[in-house]
Structure 1
Amino acid sequence: MHAPAATTAPHPDVLVVGGGVIGLVTAWRTALRGLRAAVVDPAPGGGAAHVAAGMLAAVSELHYGEETLLGLNLASARRYPRFVAELEEATGQDVGYRRCGTLAVALDADDRAHLRELHALQHRTGLESEWLNGRECRRLEPMLAPGVRGGLRVDGDHQVDPRRLTAALLTACERAGVAFHRAQAERLIVAAGRAKGVELADGTVLTAGQVVLAAGSLSGRLAGVPDAVLPPVRPVKGQVLRLRMPAGPAGAPPFLSRTVRAVVRGGPVYLVPRENGELVLGATSEEMGWDTTVTAGGVYELLRDAHELLPGITELPLVETRAGLRPGSPDNAPLLGPTTLPGLLLATGHYRNGVLLTPITGEVMAEVLVSGRLPEEARPFTPDRFPPMTGAGTGTGGTATGERALSGEHGLNAGAREGALQEQSA
């Protein structure tokens, strides 16, 4: 039997490879600027954001050595209210945006000292947070354990429901005329020294004026991408649990009113309450390649550590465990903008800040695709800040150049957790 002959699909101005939250916002914003946009992904609307907790925590996410990334995070956080209003108006869908704030708490002297240092760092960088003693923390959140010894109150941190956000972006893209190719991208097509499109698994050729690789943790696995521009992204495994909070009588205080996060036994844990009664619990982080198995040990550790903060959590119904893969980069920051291969741009590597950086990523990518100019905020995050890959897949979980293939971004699971306050908002 002969293989089917290749066919050629209509020619858009921009072809986005990857239909997660970053790919969708890039396509939507580009279409609104007047370009014909298309997305190729076997299951648009999936990806790491579908598993993420959705904390918009530009202040409490500050880490030593990430001050440059902080600027991008804050710029995106400032855009969120207007971005949400525009998206909800365009789709009629509520994305679960809440201005609830964060309370980062300490359970022992070492954690208390760490939060004090973070508090000082925040103030040196002009960020607002308030130090509270243990009693003040429990006054804000009465369900907290008696052992809480203090914490940081950050009212500027917000949240969004990533699943609703992604669904709304999918609708917005459809209404803006974005074309969807629900298929696997097998290979980047390069001709005359320029990216021209992709070939699908069935032999269909999708050509475009510009190609954006926005496939999250799988961005480094698309065959045909020259090693010199192969994005150095890797999968970082993690797990999220979803529980159901009690409704309580009318007028009673909620089980939890704001995001609570801490370091317990050297690993970070967070609890994110939603208005619909859902409580999201994470986060795990493990460098284990493409394994996305949800393990009993991971679930146990999350519940055990959350119980240290909120003893009543073990009485709540456990309604879901999910796993996915964050797209990590060497410096934990995204790769945004053109590569040295003409016609190929990147929007990937957002790691734990994908949901937070959604508004500014869409804005940046649309601007550079339309005008060729990369906005000032994105210039520290160009792909060329990293040296070219010396071997395909090195450090990214990929395989040899001729074996790389892209099947869409799915996956986060359980395992060892990082020893700092981190979260998977992508």
Structure 2
Amino acid sequence: MSCTEPEPTSTDVVVIGGGIIGLGIALEAQRAGYRIRLIDPAPASGATYAAAGMLAPVSELHYQEEGLLGLTLASAKRWPGFMQALAADGYPDIGFQSTPTLALGADAADRSALADMREAQTREGLDVSRLSIREARRLEPLLSPHITAAHMISGDHQVDPRAVAAAIEARLLAGAGDSAKTAGDTIIRTNAAALLHRDPEDHDSPVTGVMLADGRSIRADEVVVANGLGAASLGGLPAHLVLPLRPVYGDVLRLRVPEHLRPLTTATLRGMVRGIPVYIVPRSDGTVVIGATSREDSNPGVSAGGVHQLLRDAQVLLPAVAELELLETTARARPATPDNAPLLGRVAGAGGRDIPGLLIATGFFRHGVLLTPIAAHVITGLLQGRSDPAHAGFRPDRFSPAVHPQERP
């Protein structure tokens, strides 16, 4: 009796990476009728776990990143529908709040920086209004009387990324139906080792699936590489493809507000304190999130200096922060690119034609939560044969010298 290896699992789409981007893509593709397998040893335990969840395209506008604004605004418009679809499926509690944002400055230099930022925002047609300090303190009585500038930014919202990820994971499992029982688990909790190709010797040939770290293989019509910083080290990528991802670490704090101080703030506060940004995000459960440092060092753990900086600067804006209970300190690496814009779309081979079966969605840096709906929309559209020239500047092969240069965002 001869022993034969079991037939590999097959599916329509494999999504490598279970952060909020990978989860969002898997969900939208499943809704579009595709059979899905999502590969991640611990979904939503990376940058998603630390993220504050601000849906703030206006206050996230940064100098020399204006090309990203169209994408962030388009995704912000998609968030209500994304949220309502989850609620209709029985997952309403994702921490959504339509909280405005107050941009604050601590000293004269910060006031000047905020004025420059407001000028850039209004130049793009965005809704930002200047407030007097008295008006700002009337809205938020616990603000420091010593702040020097305040701007109101309308239209910002927030969600709880951990709650969103848990809801999507539950929806993926529920939406798989009986097919998951005959074709393996919908969420496979291991790492992906390498892409499989029609011609194993030619990594420009069509992608046909994924080899897992435990030796199993999954055949698929399409593979979406969405595993953040791990994307660049995945085996089987085209030799000419350059994915210039770098880790940018962020320290984030979660604190409980005592009853006598609630609400600590009803708006999200984004401050400049001696030129350093800090934010305070209120949650409906009586906690706040304070973040986030931006470190490009080799320390993957929580930075003592980062914690000190966040608490110090948050108290400059909101002195009552000193009375809060520190619940959690977290640090995670966010995947950034040279232009701080995502790597999103299909990949061209060395000959210039797109490689069938291969899509990439990574490099979202600090915008992962905000850009989840648009990333899911773009990738699902490509699965269905639809592309939008407006997104061509975010192609994942734009840094690859062997590919014809694309117009950058």
Instruction: Report the Cα offset of residue 93 of structure 1.
Output: 3.7
- Residue number in structure 2 paired with 1:89: 88
- Residue number in structure 1 paired with 2:394: 381
- Residue number in structure 2 paired with 1:24: 23
The residue type paired with residue 259 of structure 2 is A
Distance 1:219 1:267 in 2: 31
* Residue of 251, 254, 259 corresponding to 1:239: 251
Task: Give 3-state SS (helix, strand or coil) of 1:202's partner.
Answer: coil
Distance 2:239 2:311 in 1: 42
Contact 1:8 1:207 (C-alpha < 8 Å) held by counterparts: no
- Residue number in structure 2 paired with 1:424: none
- Residue number in structure 2 paired with 1:407: none
- Residue number in structure 1 paired with 2:109: 110
Taking structure 1 as the reference length, what is the TM-score of the superposition? Answer: 0.86
- Residue number in structure 1 paired with 2:330: 322
- Residue number in structure 2 paired with 1:420: none
> How big is each residue's C-alpha offset from its partner over 1:214-253, in whole Å with a ceiling of 9 and x where there is no partner?
00122112122223224222211111000001223xxx86
The alignment of Structure 1 onto Structure 2 pairs a total of residues equal to 382
Amino-acid identity (%): 47
The residue type paired with residue 66 of structure 2 is E
Contact 1:243 1:279 (C-alpha < 8 Å) held by counterparts: yes
Contact 2:107 2:273 (C-alpha < 8 Å) held by counterparts: no
Distance 2:303 2:46 in 1: 20
Task: Give 3-state SS (helix, strand or coil) of 2:165's partner.
Answer: helix
Residues 97-106 or 239-248, more deviating: 239-248
Gap change, CA 1:306 and 1:243, over 3 Å in 2: same
Instruction: Report the Cα offset of residue 7 of structure 1.
Output: 5.1
- Residue number in structure 1 paired with 2:352: none
- Residue number in structure 2 paired with 1:195: 207
- Residue number in structure 1 paired with 2:229: 217
Contact 1:8 1:204 (C-alpha < 8 Å) held by counterparts: no
| Counterpart mapping for 1:262-281 below 5 A | 262-281=271-290
Task: Give 3-state SS (helix, strand or coil) of 1:374's partner.
Answer: coil
Task: Give 3-state SS (helix, strand or coil) of 2:24's partner.
Answer: helix
Instruction: Report the Cα offset of residue 90 of structure 1.
Output: 1.4
Instruction: Report the Cα offset of residue 305 of structure 1.
Output: 1.2
Distance 2:399 2:7 in 1: 34
Gap change, CA 1:214 and 1:5, over 3 Å in 2: farther
Task: Give 3-state SS (helix, strand or coil) of 1:287's partner.
Answer: coil
Task: Give 3-state SS (helix, strand or coil) of 1:384's partner.
Answer: coil
Gap change, CA 1:204 and 1:389, over 3 Å in 2: farther
Distance 2:79 2:301 in 1: 33
| Counterpart mapping for 1:74-223 below 5 A | 74-177=73-176, 179-192=186-199, 193-223=205-235
Gap change, CA 1:307 and 1:36, over 3 Å in 2: same
The residue type paired with residue 32 of structure 1 is R
> How big is each residue's C-alpha offset from its partner over 1:87-117, in whole Å with a ceiling of 9 and x where there is no partner?
1221334111111110010111111111111
1:260 aligns with 2:269: yes
Distance 1:59 1:191 in 2: 44
Segments of structure 1 that go 5 or more residues without pairing to the other structure are: 391-426
> How big is each residue's C-alpha offset from its partner over 1:173-202, in whole Å with a ceiling of 9 and x where there is no partner?
112217111111112222321222221122
Distance 1:261 1:150 in 2: 12
Gap change, CA 1:166 and 1:377, over 3 Å in 2: farther
Gap change, CA 1:230 and 1:198, over 3 Å in 2: farther
- Residue number in structure 2 paired with 1:346: 360
Instruction: Report the Cα offset of residue 5 of structure 1.
Output: 9.3
* Residue of 299, 308, 313 corresponding to 2:321: 313
Contact 1:242 1:319 (C-alpha < 8 Å) held by counterparts: yes
Instruction: Report the Cα offset of residue 68 of structure 1.
Output: 1.8
Task: Give 3-state SS (helix, strand or coil) of 2:62's partner.
Answer: coil
- Residue number in structure 2 paired with 1:409: none
- Residue number in structure 2 paired with 1:336: 344
> How big is each residue's C-alpha offset from its partner over 1:32-74, in whole Å with a ceiling of 9 and x where there is no partner?
1111111111112322111100111101111122222100100
Task: Give 3-state SS (helix, strand or coil) of 1:15's partner.
Answer: strand
Residues 375-384 or 31-40, more deviating: 375-384
Distance 2:96 2:54 in 1: 10
- Residue number in structure 2 paired with 1:59: 58
- Residue number in structure 1 paired with 2:370: 356
Instruction: Report the Cα offset of residue 360 of structure 1.
Output: 1.0
Instruction: Report the Cα offset of residue 388 of structure 1.
Output: 4.3
- Residue number in structure 2 paired with 1:404: none
The residue type paired with residue 31 of structure 1 is Q
Task: Give 3-state SS (helix, strand or coil) of 2:9's partner.
Answer: coil
Relative contact order (alpha carbons < 8 A, sep ≥ 6): 1 or 2 greater? 1
Distance 1:28 1:280 in 2: 27
The residue type paired with residue 233 of structure 2 is R
Task: Give 3-state SS (helix, strand or coil) of 1:208's partner.
Answer: strand
Segments of structure 2 that go 5 or more residues without pairing to the other structure are: 181-185, 200-204, 349-354, 404-409
Distance 1:90 1:221 in 2: 36
Contact 2:241 2:400 (C-alpha < 8 Å) held by counterparts: no
Distance 2:131 2:248 in 1: 33
1:368 aligns with 2:382: yes
Distance 2:221 2:262 in 1: 55
Contact 2:246 2:337 (C-alpha < 8 Å) held by counterparts: yes
Contact 2:243 2:397 (C-alpha < 8 Å) held by counterparts: no
The residue type paired with residue 296 of structure 1 is A
> How big is each residue's C-alpha offset from its partner over 1:10-32, in whole Å with a ceiling of 9 and x where there is no partner?
21111110011111111111111
Distance 2:16 2:65 in 1: 28
Taking structure 2 as the reference length, what is the TM-score of the superposition? Answer: 0.89
